[in-house]
Amino acid sequence: MVLPSKTKIKQLIVKSLCWGKYSNIFILIKSPLSLINNSMNMKYTIETIIEKPREEVIRKLDNVENLKHWQRGLVSAEHISGVPGEIGAKMKLNYKMGKREVDLIETIIKSEFPNEFHATYDAKGMRSVQHNYFEETPEGHTKWINKNEFEPEGFMIRLMAFLMPGAFKKQSSQYLNDFKKFAETGSSVAEN
């Protein structure tokens, strides 16, 4: 069976929505989306240069009290199990995004500061795996390489990831840019 292209699936969805045949949406998109389930994972890499030494960047990044300064919408961060900062440690992060509240569970899968830090983030219908690498530049700055893989689990999240893949990368870029500003200038998103 030949799978329809993403463009064709989007056209079918739009036509179905425009014609008001809501009952047909499931028929039109469930089959192709379930067949391409594994290809719905999104992978992307973001890089930024922070004009501060790596040790200073890591000191700011590895401090839970600083999360509020660079993670927009963060309401609370609560350690729930394991030894904080070590492999297997879990932390519950609560965000308010508009009218929605989102809870994430961070699980550390590798912690080798100052070189790298990897974690999973689980929320309802979504799992994210982040691999973060920190390199010293010849100028004495820090290059942060952030590799992401989003694994949508629910039908609606898969559909959203399919139709708006850039939204996830945009959110990740925002966090890196906000951290860069915080690390370099002390600017906090909590003050906005």
Ordered domains of the chain (ranges, CATH)? 1-35 (no CATH), 42-191 (3.30.530.20)
Distance CA(107)–CA(88), nearest Å, equals 6
- Among 24-33, 60-69, 153-162, 173-182, which stretch is predicted with the lowest mean pLDDT? 24-33
Where is pLDDT greater, at 62 or 153?
A: 62
Question: Tokens in use for 35?
Answer: 């067949």
Where is pLDDT greater, at 87 or 19?
A: 87
Is 80 exceeded by the pLDDT of residue 104?
Answer: yes
High-pLDDT (> 90) share of the chain, %: 62
- Mean pLDDT, to the nearest integer, of 2-19? 54
The pLDDT of residue 49 is 98
Write out pLDDT tens, residues 12-70.
Answer: 554 544 444 444 444 344 444 444 454 568 899 999 999 999 999 999 999 999 999 99
The pLDDT of residue 158 is 77
The pLDDT of residue 77 is 97
DSSP 8-state class, residue 72: T
- Mean pLDDT, to the nearest integer, of 81-86? 96
pLDDT category of residue 143 using cuts at 50, 70 and 90:
very high
Cα→Cα distances 144→2, 7, 61, 147, Å = 40, 34, 11, 10
What kind and span of H or E run contains 158? helix 155-163
Distance CA(164)–CA(122), nearest Å, equals 20
- Mean pLDDT, to the nearest integer, of 134-162? 90
Nearest in space to 176 (alpha carbons), one of 132, 129, 137: 132
Bridge partners of residue 131, in order along the sequence: 118, 147
Distance CA(83)–CA(6), nearest Å, equals 44
Distance CA(89)–CA(120), nearest Å, equals 11
Report CA dihedral (129, 167, 179, 136) to the nearest 10 degrees.
60
- Mean pLDDT, to the nearest integer, of 104-116? 98
Q: If you search the block for the tokens 């009952």, which residue do you land on?
A: 23
What pTM was estimated for this model as a whole?
A: 0.77
How many CB atoms are closer than 10 A to CB 139?
Answer: 8
The pLDDT of residue 29 is 43
